[in-house]
Structure 1
Amino acid sequence: MMPQHMSPTKKTQAVMMMFLERGLLAFGFIHFPLFPIIRVILVIRV
């Protein structure tokens, strides 16, 4: 699923983002409006 040539830091960030997304989705649709905002912030920070 993830490219093997990624550095450990990038790989860790990708895994953390995956867990974060799953956690937000599992959290429920109450906080759904926050989801795109958090994703944009994560993308900008990386």
Structure 2
Amino acid sequence: MQWLCGASDGLLTNLKRNYSGFIVALQWLYSGSTVALQWVYSGSTVGLQ
């Protein structure tokens, strides 16, 4: 039973680490896409003017 508790604890910390990494990746992708969209948008508006 003790080993099982230790294993589940390790699994939980592993999941938390992976989850935070996943969130960071999502935020990075989101900010990158918004920056790209703004860049395209500003470029197109400048081209239209």
Query: Where on the TM-score scale, by shorter chain, does this alignment land: which range?
Result: 0.3 to 0.5
Higher relative contact order (CA 8 A, sep 6+): 1
Which protein is bigger by CA-based radius of gyration? Answer: 2
Q: Which has the higher helix share?
A: 2
Q: TM-score, normalised by structure 1?
A: 0.47
